Amino acid sequence: MNTMLNSAVRLTLATWLLFGLAYPLAVTGIAQLAFPRQANGSLIAGPGGAPLGAAQVGQNWVGAGWFHGRPSATTDTDPKDPSKTIPAPYNAASSNGSNLGPTSQALHDRLFTDRKALLKDLPGIQTLPADMLTSSASGLDPDISPANALMQAPRVAAARALPLEQVQALIATHTVGRTFGVFGEPRINVLSLNMALQSWQAAKPQQTK
């Protein structure tokens, strides 16, 4: 009995030291050396050096002068009734999708309403990029497609009184291709694009003097 107990204790202790201490420390150390930016949250800093957000977590951008991310289906607790939830786009504490299927009337109504609102700002356009209407599985997608960004460009340019061609050029410089040329699709990080847009516009008056 004692022999079995001693063996169980030694095995438990060895497992804890190996997988609860040594392995996490080794992985953390390798990550800090090889991928320090990603290991520390992929933070994007503003002009003053303070972090504005994480490159891998989307944010809820509002206002005509910003590029908007794809719709988010995340929720939060209803302050009026804790037993219910309310929509809370890009709530990083509640990553989830809508889980609504193609036969869902709620999804159909939401897509119809959003499409109608978007087309008001896009005269003559009939087909919209999928990521302009559909939410991601996480609800925190930080990227949009180049087609999505280009469709938003006229609105952003008009709101900021900027030449459309220059806003389109900024989109082109922030477009990232497929990973290793194979995986995924070309994409644009919304936070990086908006911060570049703000920095570029702030510096523009100084450049023209």
> pLDDT (tens digit, 0 to 9) for every residue of the chain, 209 residues total?
678 888 888 889 999 989 888 899 889 888 888 877 777 777 777 667 777 788 889 899 989 999 999 999 899 998 889 888 888 999 988 888 888 888 999 899 999 999 988 888 787 787 899 999 999 889 999 999 999 999 999 999 999 999 999 999 999 999 999 988 889 899 999 999 999 898 877 776 544 33
State how far the Cα of 120 lies from the Cα of 28, in Å rounded to an integer. Answer: 49
204: left (phi over 0), alpha (psi -120 to 50) or beta: alpha
pLDDT of residue 209: 36
Q: Tell me, what's the pLDDT at 207?
A: 43
pTM metric for this prediction: 0.78
Residue 52 is inside which H or E element, if any? strand 51-54
Residue-range domain boundaries for the chain: 1-40, 42-70+141-209
Going edge to edge, which strands form the sheet with 175-176?
A: 143-144, 187-189, 175-176
At residue 205, the pLDDT reads 56
Calculate helix-pair angle for 164-173, 190-207, nearest 10 degrees. 130
